[in-house]
Structure 1
Amino acid sequence: MGFKRLLFFFLQFVLVVFSKEAIAQAILADSVLKLIIKNAPYKSSQLKGYSFKASVTERGKFDHILGVGKNRIAKTEGILENKWFGQKNTNNVQVISLNQTQQEVEKLELYSKKSGKPTPFFWPDFYQDLVGPSCVSPFNYFADYYYNLNYQRDTLIQGQKCFTYNFSPKFTTDRLFKGSFIISETGFLVNMQSIVSSDAIDYQLNLTYQFSLNKWLPLKANFKVIGGVLGNNGVFELEENVISEITASKNVELLQIPSKIQEKLNIAERVFDEVFVSQMLGTLHDSMIQKWKQRPETGVETIDSIRYSPNYTILYQENLNDEKEGNIEFDALKTSKFQPYQLIFSKSFFWGERQKDFYPYEIYYKSPLFDSNYNTAEGFVSAAGLVFRRRWSRYSMFEMEYMARHSFPLDRTTGYGKVRFKTDKSDVVLTGGDYVQQYNSEISISPEMNSLATLLLKNNQMKIYRKQFGSLFFNHKFSSKFFVKTWIEYAKRIQMNNITDYFWINYLNRDFTSNNPTNAEYAVEGFADHKAFTTTFHIGFRPNLTYTYVNDERKPELGSSPLFLFKYRAGWKGVGESVADFHHLELSYIHNVEFSPWIKSGIQINTGTFLGHSPDYFIDYKHFNGNYNLLMTGESLASHRLVGYYQNITTGTNQRLNVSHYTYSTGGPYLEALSITQFSNLWLKPFLGTKKAYVKELLIANFVYLQNRNLIYNEIGYGLDGVFKILRLEGIANFTNGKFNYIGFRININTRIRVGNVID
C-alpha cells in the first residue's frame, strides 16, 4: 500500500513538472510569435546580402480540355491532356533584398517544349501583411483577428530551438491560409506549409528555410497551382532548390532603376483565338510569379538583373519525368502542311527561317465560320479575310489585310483593305473600302448576340449604316503612363433600311424596329446620303503607376493607377464636301480600387459636351453603351446593364425590352458614372444556395445626367460573380428621375477572367 501511494505521488510530481514545462514552452512560443508579428518588417529587411546557386524547375499540364478544342489545341500548340511540359534552369543568385536580385543563368533544360526563357529565382515574403494575390499572411499585424493560431510543440532543427503552430481561418472566405508553420526561438520563419484559394485558383505552398549566416534563409520552395479558365483545367508546379552553400555578399547596395528603360507596349502577338492556350499560360505564369514576389510595403523597387553565363547552354528533352507519351511538343508556333479542312477554322500559316519566338512571314486566314451573322438591314451575311504579315521582331511587323463581306438577300459584296505598320510603341493603320458601321462607333453590340436576339426574340438592337471610306489611325504609346491616339476619316455615309422580317420565334408578336434610330432629342428617322470628314484625338495618362523591372525592361501594374482620358471628336464642314459639323469634348476617369482583400471596386466617370450646337446627324451624337441581351459579352464596367443604344418612338405594352424608352444618345452636356463593387461575403449568398468562397457578391450602381432633357437615369443592381466559376448573374432595377421602371436580369462571363488591366 505504501509503495502504491509513493508511486502515485511520484507520477503526480512528474505530471506537474511536465505540465509546467509545457505551459512555459507554450508561453515562450506565443511570445516569440507576437514578437515576429510586431517586428515582421524588421525580420523581412534582414533577409538580404547573400549569394548561392539555385535550380528552378517548373512543369504544367492540362488534366481537362474542353472536348471541342482538344484536337485543335494539340495540332496548333502541341498540348495534350495529362501531358506534362516544363523546364529547369540553374542560376547563380545574389539576393540584395527579397525583391531585388542579380542572377546569372548557366543552363536551361526544356522538357516537351519548343522554346522558353529562364525563370528567375524568387521567394515570397510572409513577413508582410499581404502576400501573393492579396492573401492575408499568418504574420499579418492583425493575425489574431483572421486566424486561429494553435501552438503544437517545440522541436530542434539544425541545433536551433523552434516552435510548431497549426493555423486556420476564423472566417469562411478565400485569401486566408490554412496549414502549419515553424518559427525559431530567435523569431524567424523556418517552415511554412499552407494552402489558400484566390479567385477560384488553389495554391499549395511549402517553404523550407536553412540556418545560415546566423539567420534563417531560403533552402527549398514548392508551389502548386490548380485552376482553370472556361472549363479548361490544369496544374502548374514550381520547385526551387538552393544547391550550394550560402555565402555573405559584401558591400551590397540596392539596385537603381536602369537609366535606359524599355517597355513592351503593343504586345498583341497574334489573333487571340489562334494561340489561346499559349497566351493564357504565359499570362498566368508571369502573373503568378510577379504576385508572389511583390513587396509593396517596403517602398523598394522590384528589380531583377538577369544575365547569361558565357557558358550558357539550352538542352531539349523529349519528356519530363521519364514519361512515355510520345514526342509531341508544346509550341505556340507549330507549323503543318496545308490541308483543306484547315479552312473551316481561322488559321495562321508560317514560313521562313524561324527566330526564337516568331516566323518572319505569316498568312492568317479568317474563317467565315466565326464571322457570319444575321441582321434586319442585310439579312444573313458572311465575312472572310486574309492577312499577310512580315515580322522583324515579335512586336514589329508590316501587315496587309483584305476583308470581304457578302449579304445573301442583297447579293452584294462589300469589303475593305488595310495596310498596317506596327512596332512595340507605335501603330499606324491605313484603311479604305465599302463596309457597314454601327451607329455606336465603339461597336459594343456583338453581331452574334444581335443575331440570336433578332431570330429568337425579334429584338433587332444593332443599327447600322453603310460607308465608303478611307481612314488613317495612329496610336503611339510614349510609355505605359502616357499615350495618344488619332483617327482621321473621310466617308460617304449611306442610310440602310430593314429589308427582311425573317425570324425563328415570333416572340410576343413583336414588330422589328427601324434600322434608323431616333429619340426624344433627335426625332428625324434616317438621313440623306452625305459626306463627312471627321477626326478623333485621345490622350491617355496614368499618373502613378507602379513597376517591376527585369534588366532594362519595365513592367507596369496597370491597375495601380487611375486612367485619365481626354477625347476630342470633330466633324469638319466644307472639307472635301463634308457636311458633318460638330465638336465633341469628353473627359474620363477610370480606376480599380482594392479596399481590402475581399472588397474591390471599379469606377468609370465620363463627362462631356458639344461645343456650339448639336450634331446634324444622329450618327455623330454621343451614344452610351448598353445591352438588352439576357446574355452579355461586353466589359462589366463599360456599359449600362439595361440601357439600349437608341430610343425609338414606339408604343405597345408588349414591347418591354425590345426598345429602350430610357436611352440617352445626346447632342448636349452629360455626366455618366458606372461602378461595380465586388464582395467576398455581403449578405445574400447563403440564402441563394451557395457558400463557395470563389463566388463573389456584386453591387452595381450606374448614373447618367442629360442636360438637354433634364433627365437623370439610375441603375442599382445585385449580382453573383463566379457561378460555376465562369458566370456572372445580375438583377438590376432602373429609375428615371427617381421613378421606378422595371427590373431586368443579365448573364455574363465573370469579371475575374478579365481582371487586372485597365483598358486603353
Structure 2
Amino acid sequence: MTKYLPLSILFLFTLPAQATLIRGKIANNKGEMLPFATVMIKGTTQGTTANAEGLYQLDVPQGSHVIVCQYMGYRKEEKSIQAGNTTLELNFVLQPLSLQIKEVVVRSGGEDPAYAIIRQAIKKRSFYQSQVKNYTVESYIKMLAKLRKMPKRIFGQKIDTDDVGVDSTGKGIVSLSESVTRIAYRAPDTKLEVVSSRQSGGGLGFSIPTIISFYDNNVEAVASELGPRGFISPISENALFYYKYRLEGTFMDDNKLVNKIKVIPRRKYEPVFSGYIFITEDDWRIHSTDLMLTKEYQLELMDTLAIRQTHVPVNAEVWRTKDQVVYVATKLFGFDVVANSVNVYSNYNLKPVFPKGYFNKVIMKYEKDAEFRGIHYWDSIRPVPLEEEEQKDYRVKDSTAKARRDSARSNYHLDSLRRKPQPVKLENVLLQGWGHTWYFRRDTTIAAHRFNMGSLIKGLSYNTVEGASLYITPGVTFSLPKNKALIWQNNIRYGFTNTHLNAYTSFTYAGSGQGEYGTGNSWTIAGGKRISQFNRGEPIGPIMNSLYTLLLKENYMKLYENWFGSLSFYRNFQRTVSFNISANYESRIPLENAEDFVLFKNSKKTFTPNHPQELANIPFNREEVITVGGSVSFQPGQRFIEYPNRRVGMGSKYPTFTASYRKGFLDADFDKWNIGVSDNMNFKLFGELRYHFTGGGFLNDNKVSIPDMQHFNGNQTFLNIRYLNSFQLAPYYQYSTTAKLYGTANVEHHFNGLLTNRIPLFNRLKWHLVAGSNAFYVNRDNNYVEVFAGLENIFKAIRVDVVAGYQSQADTRIGIRVGFGGILGGAFKFE
C-alpha cells in the first residue's frame, strides 16, 4: 500500500523543514474578527481556513508568493510575501464589498434580473456536475460540538456531567475531533483513505468529509436523517417552482463579474434553502454559497443548519470547493447544542492514476497508524488553528484518558473496578434489571465476567392458560481469550394458576478471530421445558395479550408446552451473507385454559379455547417431533469501512434475499421451504418505498402439526409494530395453511412530507403520509388483501393507520392501528 501513497501525502511529513509558517488574524474595517475566512496561495488550491476567532496559519514553500484572503461579503485582499526560514505574521483587514446594481429596466409585471442568471446556471448545472470524471484531493476536517445547556435528567435518568464531559453548569465541549482524509473519485465511485484521525480524549475522530454539491438536483445536507427527502438545490432543474430570486448586486473578483443572488423559498414547509448563492457571469458557475435550512423547511432534529462554501479555480476550466463550513444549532430534550464542521480541501489533482482494482467494495480505509499520530504531527499539518478552549479540551481530556490507560493494567485499577459496583436496589430489581461484574486479570489486560437479570415487572404477564405468570432470565457472560465469549442463559417461568414450572437453559459459544474483519460465528445448545406460541413468529407479545385479556376478555395468545433440545450454528460474513443450521427435538404437550379472571365483567363475551378455534378441525395431541433445517440471507453489493483490525458493513443499494428449508421427522413428515426479498428504496423528494415479498409452501405435507404449519402474522390488537412482516387486521390463525404454494406481499410508501407539506397544521407538525398494501394468496378460498393509509412522525415517533381488509369469504374489515414510525420511531419497542 505504501508504494501507492502519493507525494502530496508524503509532503505533509516533510513540510516543516522546507516551508515557512505564516500566521495572523483576519478582521473587517471595524476590527471585528471574521470567522472561517479563506486564505490561499494565489494560483494554487493550497490554503487554509481561519478558525472561529479569525486566526489562521498556513505553511508555504520558501520563495515569493501572493497570499489571498477572502470572506463572503468583503473585498478580496492580496499581499505579497517573501518566505524564508522564519515565521511571518500577516494580518488582513477586509473592506465590505460595494455591490453594483446592473442597469436593468424592469417593466411592470416583469421579473428580477436574477431569474435570467439562475436560468443560465440551471442550464450549466449538469455540465458542472459531471465536468470532472476523476480527481483526488486532501481534506482536513475539524468538528466541534458544544453544550450551552443540558437537563439534569432525561427520561427519568440522572445525567452525570462527568460522563458527558462538561462542567458542573452543563456547559462545555462534548465532542472535538480532526482528521486528514484523501478523497479519490472516478465516476461514479468515491473512495476515502484516512491518513490521520483523532478525538479529544482518545479514539478515532469523525473522518468522513461532508461533500455537499449544489450542482446536484437533490442535496443531502450532512445526513439523511436531517431530511429524508433531501433538499432542493437553488439551481436544480425544477428550482423555479420552489424559489424566488432577487439580484442583490454584483462585484468583480479576479476580473470576473460575480452576481450575488438572494434565494427566497416560495412556500414554507418545502425542503428548500434560504440565503445567498453567488454565480459568476458568462460561465454561470457557483462562486460561493451562504445557505441555510430551518425547521420550517423540513429540517428534522435540528433548529438550523447553515452551509457556507467557497469555490476556487483549480485550472482555467475547473472550479472546485476550497472550504466548507457547516453550522448546526438545536434544542432537543432539554439539550442546547451548537456545532460546526470545517472542511478544508487542498492539493486537487484532476489527472490521477489509480492502481488496478483501487475502487472496490471498501469505500473508506484507515491507515494502520491513523489513530496514533503525535501532537507534533498535528501541530505541523493542521491548517485551522485551534481556539483556546479547543486546546484546553485536548489537553485535559487527553491527559485524563492517558491516566486511565496507564492505570488500566494496574492492581489499583483492578481493585477500583471491583469496589465500584453499588448495592442492588429494589427499584433495579423491579424496574430496570440488575447485574454484577467480576473483574480479573488476563495476561496484561483486565477482563470481566458479567451476571445480568431482567426486571421482575417486565417478566410479569397474564394469560388464560397460566393465569398470572412470572418470567425471569438470569444469565452469565464469561469472557474467554482470543475475543471469544460463553453465554449461559437461563429462562424460568412459573404459572400461578396452573402451577406449571417451565425452565430451560442455553449455552452459546460466540466470537470472531482477529483478522476476520467482522465475520462472526456462534454455536448454541439449549434444552429444558418451555411454553411456546403455536405461531413461532409470536404475532402477539405478552404485554398486549395481558391487556386485552384482563381489560377486554380477548385471549389471543395460544400456547403449548414442550420438552425440547436444540443445537444450532450461526455464521455471519461481514453483513453480506449469513446462514443458520439447526436441529430441534420437541415433546409437545397440549394446554387448556385454567383462568377466566378479568378486570371488567362482560357476560356477552367468553374466552375462546386455547386451541386456535380457526383450526378446530385439526387435532393437537401429545407428539414428538424432530425438525432439521437452515436459512440463508444474502445482500449483494455490500460496501465496507476498513479499520486496521476489522471491517464494518455500510449497507448496499441492492435488496436482501433470504431462503429457508425445514424437514420434519417422527410424528411429523413434511418438507417446508420459503424464499423472500426485501428492500428500502429512497426516492428522495418522492419519498421512500419499502417492500417485502415472500413465496413458499410444502413439498411434502404428509403429517403437519399446528406448530409446523405456515402461519401468517395477523394482528387483532390496536398496536402494530411489524409493518413489513404482518397483516394489520387479519386474525392470527384463520389463514394458516399446508398448501404447496403461497405468496405474500407487504408494500408501503413513506411520503416523508410530500403532500402533507401542503396541508395546514400537518405541515407545521411535520406529520407525514404513509400508505400501502399487505396481501397473501394461497388459493381462491384462502386469500387476503388490505390497504392502509396513515400518518407518521407524530411526535417524531408515532404512526397511526386506517386499514381496510378484504377476504373473498368475509365482509370487509375496517380498523385503526397505532405503532411506531418517523424519524425516531425505530428507537422504540413494545411487545
TM-score, length basis structure 1? 0.76
Q: Give the 3 Å change call, closer, same or farther, for CA 394–411 of structure 1 in structure 2.
A: farther
1:478 matched to which residue of 2?
A: 573
Deviation string 1:187-228 (CA, Å, 9 cap, x unpaired) is 234223221565843360322326464545332412426486
Deviation per residue, 1:294-344 (Å, 9 max, x gap): xxxxxxx566657427643699x9x98989xx99x999x997423221433
Query: 2:370 is matched with which residue: 272, 286, 308?
Result: 308
**How many residues are treated as equivalent by the alignment?**
665
Aligned partners of 1:39, 1:201: CA distance in 2, in Å? 34
Q: Distance in 2 between matches of 1:354 and 1:172?
A: 61
Measured against aligned partners, the alpha-carbon deviations of 1:403-423 in whole angstroms (never above 9, x if no partner) come to 222222233432221111222
Q: Which residue of 1 aligns with 2:339?
A: 237
Contact kept? 1:258, 1:551, Cα under 8 Å? no
Amino acid at match of 1:252: P
For 1:206-245, list aligned pairs within 5 A.
Answer: 206-209=307-310, 211=312, 213=314, 215-224=319-328, 226=330, 235=337, 237-242=339-344
Contact persistence 2:789–2:803 (CA under 8 A)? yes
1:205 aligned partner: 306
1:594 corresponds to which of 669, 682, 692: 682
1:741 aligns with 2:828: no
- SS of equivalent residue, structure 2 residue 748: strand
Cα deviation, residue 721, structure 1: 1.1
Determine helix, strand or coil for the equivalent of 2:546. helix
Partners of 2:567 and 2:298 in 1: CA distance: 43
| % identical aligned pairs | 17
Change (3 A) 1:684 1:27: closer
The counterpart of 1:123, out of the listed 187, 199, 210, is 210
Q: Secondary structure at the match of 1:514?
A: coil
User: Within the alignment, does 1:543 sit opposite 2:636 as a pair?
Assistant: yes
Q: Comparing both chains, which one has the higher relative contact order based on Cα–Cα distances under 8 Å and sequence gaps of 6 or more?
A: 1
Aligned equivalents of 1:232, 1:511: Cα separation in 2:
49
- Cα distance, 1:641 vs structure 2: 0.2
Matched, 1:640 2:727: yes
Structure 1 position 428, deviation (Å) = 2.0
Choose the corresponding residue for 2:775, options 677, 699, 703: 703
Map Cα deviations across residues 159-186 of structure 1 (whole Å, 9 max, x no partner).
8643222324445545433333234455
Provide the rounded CA distance (Å) in 1 between the counterparts of 2:330 and 2:585. Answer: 52
Q: Which residue of 1 aligns with 2:604?
A: 509
Aligned ranges 1:6-155 → 2 under 5 Å? 19-20=103-104, 26=114, 29-30=117-118, 33-34=121-122, 36-42=124-130, 48-51=135-138, 53-59=140-146, 63=150, 68-71=155-158, 86-97=174-185, 99-105=190-196, 107-110=198-201, 116-126=203-213, 127-132=215-220, 133=224, 134-135=229-230, 136-155=232-251
1:580 shift after superposition: 1.9
Counterpart CA distance in 2 for 1:233 and 1:72 is 11
Q: Secondary structure at the match of 2:723?
A: coil
Report the Cα distance in structure 1 between the residues aligned to 2:435 and 2:259, rounded to whole angstroms.
58
Task: Indicate the residue corresponding to 2:429 in structure 1.
Answer: 343
Which residues of 2 match residues 143-542 of structure 1 at below 5 A?
A: 143-155=239-251, 161-170=257-266, 172-185=268-281, 187-195=285-293, 200-202=300-302, 204-209=305-310, 211=312, 213=314, 215-224=319-328, 226=330, 235=337, 237-242=339-344, 246-247=346-347, 252-254=352-354, 307-308=369-370, 311-312=373-374, 336-341=420-425, 342-344=428-430, 345-352=432-439, 360-391=448-479, 396-423=484-511, 424-506=519-601, 509-519=604-614, 523-524=617-618, 527-542=620-635
Taking a change above 3 Å as real, the CA distance of residues 178 and 394 of structure 1, as seen in their structure-2 partners, is farther
With over 3 angstroms needed to count, the CA separation of the structure-2 counterparts of 1:109 and 1:747, relative to structure 1, is same
- Whether the 8 Å CA contact 1:536–1:567 is kept in 2: the answer is yes
8 Å Cα contact 1:190/1:210 also seen in 2: yes
| Structure-2 change in CA distance of 1:347 and 1:259 (3 Å) | farther
Q: Tell me, what secondary structure is at the counterpart of 1:519? A: helix
Amino acid at match of 2:339: E
Does structure 2 conserve the Cα–Cα contact (< 8 Å) formed by 1:88 and 1:109?
A: yes
* Cα root mean square deviation, aligned: 4.3
CA contact (8 A) 1:350 1:359 kept: no
Q: What is the aligned counterpart of 2:705 among 617, 634, 641?
A: 617
Contact 1:388–1:401 (Cα < 8 Å) also in 2: yes
Q: Does the Cα contact within 8 Å between 1:180 and 1:192 map onto a contact in 2?
A: yes
Counterparts in 2 of 1:437 and 1:499: CA distance versus 1, 3 Å: same
| 1:36 and 1:43 in contact (8 A); partners too | no
Q: CA deviation at 1:430?
A: 1.3
Name the SS of the counterpart of 1:201 in structure 2: coil
- Would the aligned equivalents of 2:193 and 2:364 in 1 still touch at CA under 8 Å? no
Q: Greater CA deviation, 605-614 or 217-226? A: 217-226
Contact 2:198 2:204 in 1 (8 A): no
Separation in structure 2 between the aligned mates of residue 198 and residue 553 of structure 1, nearest angstrom: 37
From the CA coordinates, give the structure whose radius of gyration is larger: 2
